[in-house]
C-alpha cells in the first residue's frame, strides 16, 4: 500500500514537471523599436526598461562612439539587443548582395537575440531575391543566430500570394510576420484568407506588432474604439503564431512593438503634430498581448 502511494506521488510530481512547469515557463520577450527615437541611447534604454521591455530592436549605428554608448546602455539597463539588416535597393544586385552579406558579420559579433531582415525587393527576380534569402539562411546556420525575413512592402514578401510562392520553394525560409503591411496591400483585414495564411503562420518565428488597416499600415491609435475590429484581427493572428511556436517547443517567443513616428503615425497638416503618442501605442500593444495570453 505504501509503495503504491509513493508511486502515485512520484507520478504526480513527474506529470507536474512535464506539463505544469513546462506551461508556466512559456513566455514572450518584448523588444522596443527605436524607430523615430531622438533620445540618447542611455535615456532611450532607461525608458525602455521602465516601460517593461526585455530588449530593443535597432539598426546598428554607424559611428563607433554611438556603438560604444549603445553597448554601455544595454549593460546598464540589462536589455537584450536585436538588429535589423536590409537589402540596399539603390545598389546594383551584386553590390547589394555583397553589402547585405558583409553586414551580417558585423551584427553577429554583438551576439544579438535575432536579426530581422528587410530582404530583397519587389523589383528583383525570384532568383535574385532567393540569393539574399539563401545568404542570410547560410549565415544563420553557421552562426547559430536566428535570422528572419520580414513580410514588408517593397520587398520579396510584399504580398501574401507571392510570399507563399517563396515559402513553397525555400523550405528553410523563416519569417518575421508584420501582417500590417498586407492589410493595406490587399486593402482588407484578410478576412476569408486563413487558408492562404496557414504556411505563413507556420513559418513565422517573430512578430512585428503594429496594427494596420485597409487604407494604411498603421492605425492612428490602437486604443481607439473605431479600430477594434482591426486590433482584434491582428491579435487573433498573433495569438495563433505565438501558441503555435509554444506548442512546437519554443519556450520564449519574441515580439517587437513597432508603431512608428510620423509619417507612419498620422500628423496634423502644417504643424506636423502627431495625432497620438507613438510610445504609448507600443506599450499598449505589449500590455494587450500580455493580457490576451494571461502573462500578467
Structural domains present in the chain: 27-292 (3.20.20.150)
Q: Which residues of the chain have pLDDT under 70?
A: 1-24
List phi, psi (to 5°) of 250.
-85, 115
pTM for this model (two decimals): 0.91
Give the per-residue pLDDT at 171: 95
Give the per-residue pLDDT at 267: 96
Give the per-residue pLDDT at 24: 57
Instruction: Please count the helices (runs of H) and the strands (runs of E) in the chain.
Output: 11, 8
**Which pairs from 106-111 meet CB under 8 Å and 24+ separation?**
106/60, 107/60, 107/83, 108/139, 108/143, 108/145, 110/60, 110/81, 110/83, 111/145
- State how far the Cα of 9 lies from the Cα of 217, in Å rounded to an integer: 54
How do residues 180-196 score in pLDDT, each as one tens digit? 999 999 999 999 999 99
Give the per-residue pLDDT at 50: 98
Amino acid at each position: 500500500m505504501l509503495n503504491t502511494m509513493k508511486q502515485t506521488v512520484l507520478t504526480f510530481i513527474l506529470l507536474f514537471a512535464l506539463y505544469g512547469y513546462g506551461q508556466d515557463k512559456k513566455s514572450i520577450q518584448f523588444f522596443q523599436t527605436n524607430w523615430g527615437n531622438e533620445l540618447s541611447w542611455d535615456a532611450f534604454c532607461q525608458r525602455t526598461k521602465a516601460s517593461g521591455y526585455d530588449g530593443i530592436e535597432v539598426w546598428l549605428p554607424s559611428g563607433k562612439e554611438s556603438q560604444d554608448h549603445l553597448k554601455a546602455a544595454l549593460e546598464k539597463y540589462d536589455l537584450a539587443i536585436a538588429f535589423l539588416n536590409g537589402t540596399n535597393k539603390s545598389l546594383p544586385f551584386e553590390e547589394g548582395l555583397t553589402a547585405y552579406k558583409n553586414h551580417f558579420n558585423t551584427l553577429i559579433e554583438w551576439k544579438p537575440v535575432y536579426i530581422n531582415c528587410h530582404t530583397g525587393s519587389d523589383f528583383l527576380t525570384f532568383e535574385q531575391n532567393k540569393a539574399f534569402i539563401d545568404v542570410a539562411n547560410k549565415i544563420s546556420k553557421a552562426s547559430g543566430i536566428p535570422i528572419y525575413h520580414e513580410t514588408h512592402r517593397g520587398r520579396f514578401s510584399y504580398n501574401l500570394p507571392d510570399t507563399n510562392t517563396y515559402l513553397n520553394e525555400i523550405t528553410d525560409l523563416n519569417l518575421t510576420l508584420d501582417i500590417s503591411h498586407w492589410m493595406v496591400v490587399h486593402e482588407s483585414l484578410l478576412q476569408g484568407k486563413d487558408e492562404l495564411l496557414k504556411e505563413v503562420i507556420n513559418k513565422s518565428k517573430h512578430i512585428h506588432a503594429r496594427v494596420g488597416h485597409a487604407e494604411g499600415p498603421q492605425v492612428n491609435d490602437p486604443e481607439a474604439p473605431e479600430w477594434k475590429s482591426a486590433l482584434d484581427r491582428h491579435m487573433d493572428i498573433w495569438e495563433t503564431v505565438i501558441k503555435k511556436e509554444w506548442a512546437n517547443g519554443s519556450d520564449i517567443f519574441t515580439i517587437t512593438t513597432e508603431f512608428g513616428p510620423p509619417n507612419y503615425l498620422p500628423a496634423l497638416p502644417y504643424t506636423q503634430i502627431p495625432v497620438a503618442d507613438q510610445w504609448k501605442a507600443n506599450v499598449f500593444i505589449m500590455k494587450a498581448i500580455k493580457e490576451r495570453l494571461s502573462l500578467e
